A = this chain, B = another copy of it.
Amino acid sequence: MLGPQVWSSVRQGLSRGLSRNVRGWASGEGKKVDISGIYPPVTTPFTATAEVDYGKLEENLHKLGTLPFRGFVVQGSNGEFPFLTSSERLEVVSCVRQAMPKDRLLLAGSGCESTQATVEMTVSMAQVGADAAMVVTPCYYRGRMSSAALIHHYTKVADLSPIPVVLYSVPANTGLDLPVDAVVMLSQHPNIVGMKDSGGDVTRIGLIVHKTRKQDFQVLAGSAGFLMASYALGAVGGVCALANVLGAQVCQLERLCLTGQWEDAQKLQHRLIEPNMAVTRRFGIPGLKKTMDWFGYYGGPCRAPLQELSPAEEEALRMDFTSNGWL
């Protein structure tokens, strides 16, 4: 299935992708682009009437752009992408592209349920300026999403994508773990450069790094809660909701890990676990946006059916930051 003729069509796409090198990522012959580093998954700001607020989006990006992030993930789960129309998805990416510093990477979520729609969205994302596409597993028919089906899906997308593809597994939202055997198979595709794994099972992350060690395949931790452990196991970065509010601290944790200062890293990691849980699993995007308001960014409302936090939830959220010395 993954024969030479497949890869040749891919290489065309890749060569187009490589032309992006001007934006700052080097890629020699056969070497996959380097996506290592920390990325905040950017939220989508809405006005009181639930319109996308592009002005606030730009403001947030200007502030976030001062931090040493490798780049930005747009339309990840925290971007409320399932609530956006196709044109909104593209316009948001386009807006971020303009507002963000030129030397950073833009990873755009382009996953849809059907393979065809995902291919089209991926191509469009490339056209509006994405450097790579982050493709979430389709999940509505999860009972039929076998390794074979998922390999077929991602191969097709990667074959036809003009930009590199990053696999994205987020079982809390999809009810589906991209199987290790599928990841290992897909890592051999020249246009699949890595994976964002938000499942939190670092044994699995270690196994993926180990079994793809000959493939130049890069794993990003999907949450700040297990970022240090992921570095320990061989991940090269993270896409962390928490980086939207404690971006400097998440980048500092990266640096401590990369420079082998494990004791200090541990202390910092410990203080980030509860705040991270609060803005992810515990209170979700409403919690993240509320916290952004506290930290000088624009959070604002979510689109329905996501609800605002109750006063009691807001109090608990605040406590998770104060008790760790961040507020």
Contact = CB atoms under 8 A, between A and B. Distances in A.
A303 B116 contact: yes
A4 interface: no
Contacts of A248: none
Interface residues of A, number: 64
Nearest to A83: B114
A144 interface: yes
A185 interface: no
B303 A114 contact: yes
Contacts of A113: 82-83
Contacts of A225: 203, 206
Q: How many identical subunits does the complex contain?
A: 4
A50 B203 CA distance: 35
Q: Is the interface of A mostly helix, strand, loop or mixed?
A: helix
A156 interface: yes
A82 B149 CA distance: 16
Interface of A: 50, 77, 82-83, 85, 113-117, 138, 140-146, 148-150, 152-153, 156, 172-175, 200-203, 206-207, 209-210, 213, 223, 225-226, 228-229, 232-234, 260, 262, 265-266, 269-271, 273-274, 277, 281, 284-286, 303-307
